[in-house]
Amino acid sequence: MAYSKKVVDKFENTINEPAKYNVGRFDPKEMNVGTGMVGAPACGDVMKLQIKCERQGNTHVIKDVKFKTYGCGSAIASSSELVEMLIGKTLEEAKEIKNIDIVEALELPPIKIHCSVLAEDSIKQAIEDFEQKQ
């Protein structure tokens, strides 16, 4: 599998320094936490993304993110890349993140584009979960 150096580095950094790369979990019951889980074990990838938000004016800002991913190297790299994009963004800004942003950032091979789609789905679902709680 010919992965770009970016995918390989992101993957290796994430597994070698999980805390630094936001691997972990929040309590999903907390009111300021939104959780998204997408994918299926049978398909080979499951992403769980959690955002912790803070009210600022009339919007919410993503203050912290935690994630866990089961999947191939590029699925893990895609979620890790997404997490970095999210911190500090408002929910409106976060909704604008598209899978192509991850594809470009990591130079994903065409056969692995679905990993970035899954990452986009995970943030959408996490925001939805958060907004329903408010």
Interacting span for other proteins (CB under 8 A) from 14-22, 26-34, 54-62, 99-107: 14-22
- Residue 4's CB is within 10 A of a number of other CB atoms, namely 14
Strand partners, 39: 46
- Tokens found for residue 118: 């899954």
Please state the closest distance from residue 109 (CB atom) to other proteins, in A: 11
- 26-45: which residues touch other proteins (CB under 8 A)? 37-45
In the region spanning residues 63 to 122, those forming contacts with other proteins, defined by CB under 8 A, are: 68-73, 75-76, 111, 114, 118
The vertex-50 CA angle with 49 and 51, nearest 5°, equals 125
Name 28's Cβ contacts closer than 8 Å, sequence gap at least 6. Answer: 35, 50
Q: Which residues bind other proteins (CB under 8 A)?
A: 1, 3, 8, 11, 14-16, 18, 23, 25, 37-48, 68-73, 75-76, 111, 114, 118
